[in-house]
Amino acid sequence: MKHTVDVLLAVKPLSRAKSRLRDGYPAPVGGHAGLVTAMVLDTVTAARRALGVGRVLVVTDDHALTQRLREHGVDFVDEGTATDLNAALRHGEQVLRDRGRGAVIVGALQADLPALRPTELGEALASAAGRRAYCADHHGVGTTLLIAAPGEPLDPRFGDASALAHAESGAVELTGSWPSLRRDVDTAEDLAAASALGLGEHTAAVYSPAR
């Protein structure tokens, strides 16, 4: 039976989010929080359109963000007692399993992929082929996607050098090209590179590349 992956995205409070992305580009419409929100919405929109994705659940305590998610019919959950990204993802994983019917395959997708193409995510999920797997970021150092093996815990190890950490945890590295899946946005340079790939509608509406 073809399995779908239930995808988690975690977002910290917008006031603290994307601290490396606070300057170096024209002021976005709606300010910093508006830009971060737009990137989340574009990432979620692409994930929902990707072949192989089941449910999408955003883990966040930010009220303004959850309001926008609600407007777009995106499911979300608070982060419980989590104090970091991995704990927030583990909390979201438990919520998915509690709600799930039958075997659940859980994945974690970074929430700052505003150029994400559904086809690239779908290809990455297919190439995991039921294995614990990860996709490294464009630097080859971080992780933009982690997929658990069916019925296995997600065991997220995001943070510094997370690609290596996930490899050491037994995850298989996914090696497709997938430039939009690997282009997470941490800095103004990343945002310009994502713009060159083609931004989703929400981020494109608030950001214009520096002329």
Ligand X SMILES: Nc1nc2c(ncn2[C@@H]2O[C@H](COP(=O)(O)OP(=O)(O)OP(=O)(O)O)[C@@H](O)[C@H]2O)c(=O)[nH]1
Ligand Y SMILES: C=C(OP(=O)(O)O)C(=O)O
The per-type count for the chain, helices as H runs and strands as E runs, is: 8, 7
From residue 150 to residue 169, the character string flagging contacts with ligand Y as x (rule: CB under 6 A) and all else as - is: --------xx--x-------
Residue 203 is a binding residue for ligand X (CB under 6 A):
no
Looking at beta carbons only, is 12 or 166 nearer to ligand X? 12
Question: CB under 5 to 8 A by kind: which of ligand X, ligand Y, none does 137 bind?
Answer: ligand Y
For position 190 contacting ligand Y by CB under 6 A, the verdict is no
Distance CA 17, CA 116 (A): 19
Q: DSSP states of 74-125 as a string?
A: -EEE--TT--SHHHHHHHHHHHHHHH--S--EEEEE-S--TT--HHHHHHHH
Q: Which two tokens stand for residue 94?
A: 């438990």
Minimum CB distance to ligand X smaller for 150 or for 179: 179
- Show contacts with ligand Y in window 58-87 (CB under 6 A): 85
| Per-residue b or e along 135-172, where b marks 16 or more CB atoms closer than 10 Å to that residue's CB | bbbbeeebbbbbbbbeeeebbbbbeeebbebbbeeebb
- If binding is defined by CB under 6 A, does position 43 make contact with ligand Y? no
Give how many residues touch ligand Y by CB under 6 A.
9
**Do 18 and 67 form a contact (C-beta atoms < 8 A)?**
no
Q: Are 85 and 17 in contact (CB under 8 A)?
A: no
- Applying CB under 6 A, among 5, 8, 11, 194 the residue interacting with ligand X is 11
- Whole-angstrom distance between the N-terminal and C-terminal Cα of the chain? 50
Window 83-142: residues binding ligand Y (CB under 6 A): 85, 137, 142
165 counts as binding ligand X under rule CB under 6 A = no
State yes or no: 143 annotated in a binding site. Answer: yes
Residues tagged in the binding site annotation for phosphoenolpyruvate: 143, 159, 162
Residues forming contacts to ligand Y in the complex (CB under 6 A) are 85, 137, 142-143, 158-159, 162, 184, 186
Residues tagged in the binding site annotation: 143, 159, 162
Residues forming contacts to ligand X in the complex (CB under 6 A) are 10-12, 17-20, 59-60, 79, 82, 84-85, 88, 110-112, 186
